Amino acid sequence: MSFDVQAIRKEFPILTRMVNGKPLVYLDNAATTHKPQCVIDALVDYYSTCNSNVHRGAHKLADEATRRFEGARDIIASFINAPSRNSVIWTSGTTESINIVANGLAQLLQEGDEVIVTSMEHHANLVTWQQACAKKGAKLNIVPINDKGELDIAEYRKLLTSNTKLVAFPHVSNALGTVNPIIELTRLAKTVDALVLIDGAQGIAHGNVDVQAIDCDFYAFSGHKMYAPMGVGILWGKESVLESWPVWQTGGEMISTVSFTEATWNTLPFRLEAGTPNVGDAIAFGEAIRWFSALDLEGIQAHEKALMDYATEKAKEFEGLMIVGDASDKVGVLSFVLDEGHPADIGFLLDKQGIAIRTGDHCAQPLMNRFNVPGTARASFAIYNTLEEIDVFFNALRKVKAMLA
């Protein structure tokens, strides 16, 4: 196989849009990716042909919906090399996935226990653990980062003790693009028998996620960062951990038996999937994974590296631009500030030229404080972006700099 970016682009109808009279240059992929036509078609087809609740219906539509829904679970289990489909839990996204784990941990923690997170966390992988620790008087420890935006592994080792009950860290930083050494971080956590949760929201779309090789206990990710719809995600967990994990919500589907005085819970995966699931979007998520898996992964990764290298080279040549986060292992994200102009002004003026980026603190306020910036402008790349779009972006940025001056 070979990777043909122009052929890929033709599968995304939104990329033909004009914005403010200019062809859309979409560089906000760390916030959400666009959807190929096959994913859109899968969602429309579900609602057009077999819209029904799953598992409990006694009619043909319910049977078809259930087979598609559970088939999507199988596709995702295979994609991340899960040893069992039963450990793949449907959620609304990474945030809910992390909260399921944090809610359970809050019931298991005791005073004096410790949880470790990093200085580069998205708020979803920070505030959840703050709250869990606060409920039980546990301590939250923070792994520092260096000026390049890389974790201080030596300090991480020092924080790991017999009191450490869980370690949580991102696979890839949403604000910096830093790729963390997740296998090494997990291995070190296991030396003190700590549970490990990985926020995979930014890591999943780059491929090669093998939960068995990583040996983490939980891996959380969202569909909409992976060319699938919003509002659907996955919590993968080791079956031995999930089968006794405190339930997140109660209601339909997660019940085994009920009386007026007590209830017992269903088996995995259903015990953690209360209520009517997001069936259509789950089916479309499965289609997104099927579509992505059919592509040349080595070609994708080579293309993404070329985009990142080219954008970084252009940024380093750009007078008055400072890159925030220059890790040696980095993917998909170029965060920066200019010596003139607030990031919000940069984003506004780029939009007038048809270019979509993200500005602000990127739900990582402590990280922005670490770099002593109010926020950054963030250009983030996906498989459908091109080197020519990066040229357009930097040409537009020169105009922005001149206007702000």
> 11: domain CATH number?
3.90.1150.10
> 105: domain CATH number?
3.40.640.10
How large is the average pLDDT for residues 10-26? 98
Indicate the SS3 state at residue 391: helix
**Domain contains 321:** yes
Chain centroid to CA 85: 20
**Domain contains 403:** no
Indicate the SS3 state at residue 88: strand
Length of the chain: 405
- Decide which of 261, 293, 325 is a domain's last residue: 293
How large is the average pLDDT for residues 138-165? 98
**Cα–Cα distance, 294 to 382 (Å, whole number):** 16
Contact partners, residue 259, CB within 8 Å, separation at least 6 = none
Q: Let me know whether 392 and 256 are in one domain.
A: no
**Domain contains 370:** yes
- First-to-last CA distance in the chain? 48
**Cα–Cα distance, 30 to 8 (Å, whole number):** 18
Share the mean pLDDT of the chain.
97
Residues 80-123 have pLDDT tens digits of: 999 999 999 999 999 999 999 999 999 999 999 999 999 999 99
Q: Let me know whether 146 and 232 are in one domain.
A: yes
**Domain contains 33:** no
Q: How many domains does the chain have?
A: 2
Residues 166-224 have pLDDT tens digits of: 999 999 999 999 999 999 999 999 999 999 999 999 999 988 899 999 999 999 999 99
Q: Let me know whether 75 and 223 are in one domain.
A: yes
Chain centroid to CA 303: 20
pLDDT value at 334 more than 70: yes
Q: Let me know whether 208 and 350 are in one domain.
A: no
Could you give the C-alpha distances from 340 to 8, 26, 353, in angstroms and in order? 36, 23, 19
Q: Let me know whether 314 and 183 are in one domain.
A: no
Q: Which residue has the tokens 């819970």?
A: 265
Q: Let me know whether 272 and 384 are in one domain.
A: no
Could you give the C-alpha distances from 111 to 118, 132, 158, in angstroms and in order? 21, 11, 20
User: What's the angle, vertex CA 217, arms to CA 216 and CA 221, rounded to 5?
Assistant: 80
Could you give the C-alpha distances from 397 to 35, 117, 138, 309, in angstroms and in order? 27, 35, 46, 18
> By residue range, what is the domain housing residue 250?
41-293
Residues 211-243 have pLDDT tens digits of: 999 999 999 999 999 999 999 999 999 999 999
Q: Residue 63: pLDDT band by 50, 70, 90 thresholds? A: very high
Indicate the SS3 state at residue 44: helix
The confidence score (pLDDT) of residue 209 equals 97
Identify residue 346 by its one-letter amino acid code. Answer: I
- Decide which of 293, 312, 329 is a domain's last residue: 293
Structure tokens at 92: 């609304």
Q: Let me know whether 141 and 188 are in one domain.
A: yes
Q: Which residues are catalytic?
A: 363
The confidence score (pLDDT) of residue 56 equals 82
Q: Let me know whether 61 and 171 are in one domain.
A: yes
Q: Let me know whether 264 and 374 are in one domain.
A: no
**Domain contains 93:** yes
Is the preceding omega at residue 36 within 30 degrees of 0, hence cis? no
Structure tokens at 53: 């609740």
The confidence score (pLDDT) of residue 3 equals 87
Q: Let me know whether 13 and 54 are in one domain.
A: no
pLDDT value at 1 more than 90: no
pLDDT value at 57 more than 90: no
Using a pLDDT cut of 70, give the percent of the chain over it: 100
Q: Let me know whether 86 and 176 are in one domain.
A: yes
Q: Let me know whether 261 and 323 are in one domain.
A: no
- Decide which of 243, 277, 293 is a domain's last residue: 293
